[in-house]
């Protein structure tokens, strides 16, 4: 990778136009350098990287996402026997909303700092650290005894998981060029959907363990999940490769680090690495950044439409993740086990949309904002159906439609972020902008879990119709923001 800090920073100060380098210009620069045979070899190299990297990232994101979905299920687990988490800890609706909101507050505050630290360290080690702390904190849920404890530990959970999503985006950008990123993000983003679906099924299973050895089912769930997550975090240290080959060659004074390096084999041969670097050198610009560079990204107008795009879709997604079981119970009035089972299909529909639609974002990369907007429109249709359809099962079908629409929105938004800011600011641009979009965009999660679905009488009496319509309005803002982002991008091309 090339250190471009000294060579282009002075040029950028003289002429800000140098900061703007479009995706189309970059592709025109690199494509003529490769013969058809080399392009074929590149495809094989990326397939080889896929086999090594994507399963590890998928498992990482599955485990770090599982906790939030499981938490939503534990609120209603074994409610018939009064052994749900909310009943055991005597939580009010306000306590539940506060705990959920504080999770995102911790996540938002620490998202940018965590990702900035990641650019200074071995990224795979930092990601493994995140998984370890997430597992440790969730294992502690098993010892909770009051409402103050759940509020505090939810805030700590947010801190523990801060930097996960933008960190994954940053790590992928070190290995893949922008025109190959969206589908890779989509591949491991499916872990969030399957973890949400699995959380419902796992919760149904752990309800059968209620009061074994005197522990409620939800305590068993968090304890087992925490231990498994800690174990996987150690496995990831030797599974995820380091993109910096020099760190493999360096010798540490700590013997355990040297042993880990021997186990963590670099995924490419020297010839493959050289060809891969020839392509990535056009995108993966390593910059010795300072606070001024970070401030330039903060005040870049291009980041704010992306934040608002993320705000609406993530607010809706996490609202369904945390309160999906509450919505299903309110609409259908079924038992807690059936609620957990009916929760899973929402995220299976989400998964299907990711696999079907995200590849088109890479193929038709100029139309990413349009793809995002159409998917967001599907979410809106689903929420309207959930509110106003005749028959309770038709209303449940609206939740499935919304789940399908949610699928491609986040991967598309994050790939747009990497493209826009990677070309302008290098690796720190991807790290900070991804964290800003993820962090500030997650204020939508705070809004959905604290201001909406919080149980005010009129809303609850109408099975949360008002909350659903508020999300419709916010999703409309996301669509408008996608249009603004398109206008700004076109304006940048003309500068």
Q: Residue 2 pLDDT > 50, yes or no?
A: no
What b-and-e string marks burial along 310-328, b requiring 16 or more CB atoms within 10 Å of the CB? bbbbbbbbbbbbbbbbbbb
Residues of the chain above pLDDT 90, percent: 42
Question: Which whole number is the average pLDDT over 61-70?
Answer: 91
What one-character-per-residue DSSP string does 30-85 give? HGGGS-HHHHHHHHHHHHHHHHHHHHHHHHHHHHHHHHHHHHHHHTTTTGGGT-SH
Question: Which whole number is the average pLDDT over 40-55?
Answer: 95
Q: Residue 106 pLDDT > 70, yes or no?
A: yes
- pLDDT tens across 261-274, in order? 777 788 999 999 99
Question: Which whole number is the average pLDDT over 42-65?
Answer: 95
- pLDDT tens across 372-404, in order? 999 999 999 999 999 888 888 999 999 999 999
> In this structure, are residues 108 and 159 in contact, taking their beta carbons and an 8 Å threshold?
no
Say how far apart CA 265 and CA 267 lie, in whole Å. 6
Confidence (pLDDT) at 285: 65
Confidence (pLDDT) at 318: 80
The class (CATH top level) of 19-494 is: mainly alpha
What distance lies between CA 255 and its chain's CA centroid? 34
Confidence (pLDDT) at 179: 82
Confidence (pLDDT) at 17: 38
Q: Residue 224 pLDDT > 50, yes or no?
A: yes
Q: Could you tell me which residue, 170 or 18, shows the higher pLDDT?
A: 170
Say how far apart CA 222 and CA 199 lie, in whole Å. 11
Question: Which whole number is the average pLDDT over 465-494?
Answer: 89
What are the sequence ranges of the domains in the chain?
A: 19-494
Give the bridge partners for 212, in sequence order: 215
- pLDDT tens across 284-316, in order? 666 667 778 788 888 899 999 999 999 999 989
Question: Which whole number is the average pLDDT over 99-120?
Answer: 87
* CA distances in angstroms from 166 to 100, 152, 307, 494, listed in the order given: 20, 24, 13, 29
Q: Residue 22 pLDDT > 70, yes or no?
A: no
> In this structure, are residues 305 and 485 in contact, taking their beta carbons and an 8 Å threshold?
yes
Q: How many CB atoms lie within 10 A of CB 275?
A: 18
Q: Residue 130 pLDDT > 70, yes or no?
A: yes
> In this structure, are residues 165 and 191 in contact, taking their beta carbons and an 8 Å threshold?
no
Confidence (pLDDT) at 14: 40
Phi-psi region of 360 (alpha: psi -120 to 50; beta: other; left: phi over 0): alpha
CA angle 418, 420, 421 (to 5 degrees): 70
Say how far apart CA 40 and CA 163 lie, in whole Å. 35
Confidence (pLDDT) at 455: 61
Residue 26 binned pLDDT confidence (cut-offs 50, 70, 90) = very low
Confidence (pLDDT) at 338: 85
Instruction: Quote the pTM value.
Output: 0.78
């Amino acid at each position: 990778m090339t250190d471009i800090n000294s060579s282009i920073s002075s040029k950028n100060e003289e002429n800000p136009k140098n900061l703007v380098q479009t995706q189309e210009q970059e592709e025109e620069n690199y494509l003529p350098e490769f013969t058809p045979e080399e392009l074929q070899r590149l495809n094989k190299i990326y397939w080889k990287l896929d086999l090594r990297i994507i399963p590890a990232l998928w498992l990482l994101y599955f485990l770090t996402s599982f906790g939030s979905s499981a938490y939503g299920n534990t609120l209603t687990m074994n409610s018939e026997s009064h052994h749900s988490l909310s009943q055991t800890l005597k939580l009010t609706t306000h306590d539940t909303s506060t705990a959920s909101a504080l999770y995102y507050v911790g996540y938002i505050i620490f998202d940018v700092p965590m990702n900035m630290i990641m650019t200074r360290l071995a990224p795979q080690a930092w990601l493994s650290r995140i998984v370890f702390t997430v597992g440790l904190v969730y294992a502690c849920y098993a010892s909770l005894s009051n409402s103050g404890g759940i509020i505090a530990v939810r805030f700590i959970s947010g801190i523990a998981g801060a930097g996960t999503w933008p960190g994954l985006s940053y790590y992928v950008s070190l290995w893949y060029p922008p025109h190959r990123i969206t589908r890779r993000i989509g591949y491991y983003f499916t872990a969030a959907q399957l973890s949400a679906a699995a959380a419902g099924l796992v919760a149904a299973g752990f309800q059968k363990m209620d009061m074994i050895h005197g522990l409620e089912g939800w305590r068993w769930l968090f304890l087992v999940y925490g231990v498994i997550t800690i174990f996987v975090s150690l496995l990831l240290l030797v599974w995820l490769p380091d993109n910096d080959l020099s760190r493999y060659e360096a010798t540490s004074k700590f013997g355990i680090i040297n042993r880990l390096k021997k186990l963590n084999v670099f995924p490419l041969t020297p010839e493959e690495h050289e060809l891969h670097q020839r392509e990535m050198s056009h995108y993966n610009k390593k910059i010795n950044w300072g606070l001024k560079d970070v401030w330039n990204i903060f005040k870049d107008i291009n980041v704010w439409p992306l934040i608002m795009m993320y705000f609406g879709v993530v607010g809706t997604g996490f609202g369904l993740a945390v309160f999906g079981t509450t919505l299903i119970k309110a609409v259908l009035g079924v038992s807690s086990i059936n609620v957990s089972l009916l929760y899973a299909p929402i995220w299976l529909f989400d998964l299907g949309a990711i696999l079907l639609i995200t590849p088109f974002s890479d193929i038709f990369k100029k139309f990413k904002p349009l793809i995002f907007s159409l998917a967001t429109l599907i979410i809106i249709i689903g929420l309207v159906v959930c509110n106003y359809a005749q028959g309770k099962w038709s209303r449940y079908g609206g939740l499935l439609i919304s789940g399908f629409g949610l699928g491609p929105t986040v991967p598309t938004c994050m790939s747009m972020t990497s493209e826009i800011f990677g070309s302008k600011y290098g690796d720190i641009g991807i790290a900070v902008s991804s964290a800003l979009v993820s962090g500030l965009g997650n204020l939508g999660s705070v809004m959905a879990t604290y201001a909406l679905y919080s149980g005010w009488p009129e809303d609850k009496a109408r099975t949360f119709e008002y909350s659903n319509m508020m999300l419709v309005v916010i999703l409309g803002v996301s669509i408008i923001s996608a249009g603004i982002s398109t206008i700004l991008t076109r304006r940048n091309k003309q500068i």
